Amino acid sequence: MNGLDWNTIYWIYLLGSGGICFLIIAFLIPHRSAPSARFLLILMVAVAEWCIVSAMEIKVSDLGDKLFWVKLEYLGAAWVGVLFLFFILVVTGKEAWLTRKRILMLSVVPISVIVLALTNDFHHLLWSDAWLNNEGLAPLVAYQRSVGFWIFITYSYILMISGLSILIKELFISRELYRKKLLVILLGALIPWGANGIYLFELSPLGHLDLTPFAFTLSGLACAWGMFRYQLMNIISLAHKTIIEGMEDVVFVLDIRDRIIDLNNSAAKVFDILLDTAKGRQLSGALPVLNQYIIQYRKTRASQNDISLMVNQEKREWNLRISPLYEKVNEPGGWLVILEDITDRKRAEESIRESEEKFRSISANALDGIVMFDLTGKISFWNQAAETIFGYSVLEAIGMDFHQITTPGSGSIKDSKASQLLANTTLETKISKTLELVATHKNGEEIPVELSVSSLVLKGQWHAVAIVRDISERMRTQELMIQTEKMISVGGLAAGMAHELNNPLGGILLGVQNISRRLSPELNANKLAARETGTDLESLQGYLKKRGIIKLLDGMSELGMRASTIISDMLTFSRKSESKMEQTDLAESIGNSIELARKDYDLRKSYDFRNIDIITDIDPNLPPIFCNPVEIEQVVLNLLTNAAQAMAEKTSNGSPRISIRLFVQSGKVILEIEDNGPGMDQSIQNRVFEPFFTTKPVGQGTGLGLSVSYMIITNNHAGSMEIESEPGKGTKFIIRLPLDQNSASREENQD
């Protein structure tokens, strides 16, 4: 043993290890497009550098020269642990973990160790002392290790342990074919592990000779052999191959000439082709339609498009994904083609789209409001009709509390119960009921609404859906119907009363008139009767005047005439007019009524039309309508008189003013008479057309003027008469008459 030149043997051993590394590198270069081969190639470059420089260390004899080459050894040795982990991650299909940021982080320690090695003479962080140890077979450098070296060794072992752990885990979960491949790599990885441990703990019979570079050479040789033997460097990596075989999507791998290199079972099944016979064929010959799509959509980068393909005589929708497979930078060596059957998804999406379109169309065109809200009342849906009813836009309404705008304001028991029922609607107390209550418009106005409330559950959350209908017009119609029924009932009563009172009242008036005539000293018959009875008529007249009897008789006559007027109004109220219906210029009739009103002046009535500003706005193109001009003039005069009497009490804005507007709208003639008087509350409005209802003091009104006007418009002219008023804001009467000249007559004939 002592006769052998161990120094030369060590030198040859290290040069041989480096040579083996270069052979492995040469073997891997043609396969460098595969990530696993590329990382193994880089690892072998580092090991080769370590081996060659270590050989140079053996060759020189001076300690200073040896330390020079020791420092250069770290240029390769420092990277071995990191590159080993990178290789393991790629082989096991976890290359996605190797982001740029993580690679840089893991490279910090190797770079730092290289810097420390080259500058160790200044800080001694890797070794504090070094000497030539001649106790072995050849003189080798021995070290007094420092903290930096042990940190580096610990870091390297952590990386190697992590890599081995990943390998062992994949070994247990992989299929049989892949398990053999991973076992070869695992055995190769354990060789340097053991060699480095022998060196660090000085268990080698060769003294301080580091066997780790040679061990990594053997490890690289084992990995390269395993990759060649089990085809780990194919264009499809092992991990990806496993995934592709298990995919339900259709997968093709094409070379640069569009030949089928590989395909999965789904592709063979869908297109009814054999796996073995398909490989190597031109795609244009096997599947020409698919080939045309690939040529059309293929790019130098990944692309994705939806296409239609006939499969088993059925048109199916597919998502076509084409990805280039690069062998060289910017030079694709093949193509990965994936087809996902999206027919069912497309049909579902189309069904959903149609359903959404229908819902949007229904909700947008619905006359009723559609509102959805949750347990807290928070609004999540609000259609156009709801915006019209409540005045809030969609953006304003979403997120609002629906209970706040449906709180009753009338104070009625019915509204309160309905609102309480709506507010208490919960998951446990689902309701499917129709509620009537008073809601609040954005402008503060109270509006009667009808809500049909039902419940549903979306994504586990309870919601209520309310169909909202503005029933203001219905309420007005109901009020008009009730009013009409009242008028009909009272009309019959009025007719009977008028006939019963008319005869005795006529006798009373005739008797009063006869008494006055027979007391008059101017009639010859009275003079003759007075002389026969010895009565002095002059003295009798003085007595009657002195006692106020003459005044009483005049009062009785005036009251009788007033009662006669009331009875006449009652008769008019209770029966249809016998006046003639004819084509009438309404503007002229309104002018006649205004002229009559201007002549109405009485100090006792406290109003004077000469002090009232009457403003008219009459459509000059208004056509004549079929009506009774006398009755229309009577109605207008009644309304003007009522307005004047109301404004005599108080005006809401400035001097007394009456506005008269006449125009055509929606096939009807609209007559509006508006004053700026004190207005009236809702309770008075509800009774204003009732017979004998009046707010005037006793003796100043009969309570029949508006009732008669209402009956003239509704019964005799098939129109409508409404009132709009608020306290302090004046009053407006709205009369609607049919523009069609036959409407009124048809309505009359039906009656």
Q: What is the mean pLDDT of each run of 10 residues along the chain (751 residues)?
A: 60 73 78 74 82 80 85 86 84 75 91 92 89 70 84 86 80 57 63 58 52 60 58 45 71 82 82 73 84 82 86 86 74 83 87 81 81 84 87 88 66 43 48 73 84 78 82 73 62 65 78 80 81 80 82 81 70 56 88 76 59 88 88 87 80 80 91 90 82 63 74 86 89 89 46 42
Answer for the pair 696, 653: CB distance below 8 angstroms, yes or no. Answer: no
> Residues with Cβ < 8 Å from 604, sequence gap 6 or more?
none
- CA–CA separation, 360 and 384 (whole Å): 10
Write the CB contacts of 552 (distance below 8 Å, at least 6 apart in sequence). Answer: none
What is the predicted pLDDT for the residue at 662?
Answer: 92
Q: How many CA atoms lie within 13 A of 170 on its CB side?
A: 26
Cβ neighbours around 467 below 10 Å, total: 17
Give the residue from 495, 507, 10, 3 showing the smallest Cα distance to 214.
10
Task: Give Cα 483 to chain centroid, integer Å.
Answer: 46
Paired tokens of 524 = 């010859």
**pLDDT, position 498:** 67
pLDDT of residue 412: 38
Q: Does an H or E element contain 153, and which?
A: helix 147-173
3 state SS of 672: strand
d(CA 47, CA 316): 55
Q: How far apart are CA 170 and CA 193, in angstroms?
A: 19
The pLDDT, as a whole number, for residue 737 is 92
Position 391, amino acid: G
Residues 136, 142: Cα–Cα separation, whole Å: 11
Q: How many CB atoms lie within 10 A of CB 296?
A: 11
Which candidate, 438, 363, 429, 436, places its Cα nearest to that of 394?
A: 363
Task: Write down the number of H helices and E strands in the chain.
Answer: 29, 21
Six-digit token string for 169: 């885990």
Question: What pLDDT sits at residue 418?
Answer: 45
Residues 6+ apart with CB under 8 A from 537: 521, 526, 527, 530
- Amino acid (one-letter) located at 84: F
Residue 271: name the closest of 346, 343, 339, 342 by CA. Answer: 339
- Evaluate whether 447 touches 389 at the Cβ level (below 8 Å): yes
